[in-house]
Amino acid sequence: MWLKGFAILLLFQCLGELLKRWLGILVPGPVLGMFLLFIFLIVQGEISDAVQQASTPLIQNLSLLFVPTTVGIFFLGANFEGQWAAFLLASFVGTLIALVLVGLTLRAVFPADEDDHA
């Protein structure tokens, strides 16, 4: 069951890579695969047990998959010297400003609380 779900995920990743080649765009193959699976789920109207079983552990342990990449921060070396100020400005200060502006904007444009949204 788990294996079948995993194979379905890989199939959609392949379809995503094909679509990327076909369209010749910069959107990554797995991201296109995500959209294709999303459309498939809408058409199907439900999530099969196999896909659910394969996806849950992947999503729950997503952080693990980024450990090797994140370790690289300690090995950025000379290439990244002089970039830290810009990095922190964008990542930290930028996020503070974004929280304020996005919060205020969303309060203005968000649909009124009229139905059972929970």
Partner 1 sequence: MLEFAQQVMDSTLFALSVTMGFFLGANALYQRSHRHPLLHPLIWSSTAVALLLKGLDVDYRQYFDNTDVIMFMLGPATVALAIPLYQQLRRIRNMLLGTLLATVIGASLATAIAVGLAYIGDANQSTLLSLFPKTVTTPISFALAEQFGGSGTVAAAAVMVTGLTGVIFGPPIFKMLGIKDERVMGFTLGLVSHGTGTTRAFDISPVAGAFASLGMGLTGAFIAIALPLLVVWLY
User: CA 34, 40, 45, 49: dihedral to nearest 10 degrees?
Assistant: -70
CB of 115 to partner 1, least distance (A): 6
CA separation for the pair 48, 115 (Å, rounded): 29
CB of 19 to partner 1, least distance (A): 12
CB of 105 to partner 1, least distance (A): 6
User: CA 30, 11, 9, 71: dihedral to nearest 10 degrees?
Assistant: -40
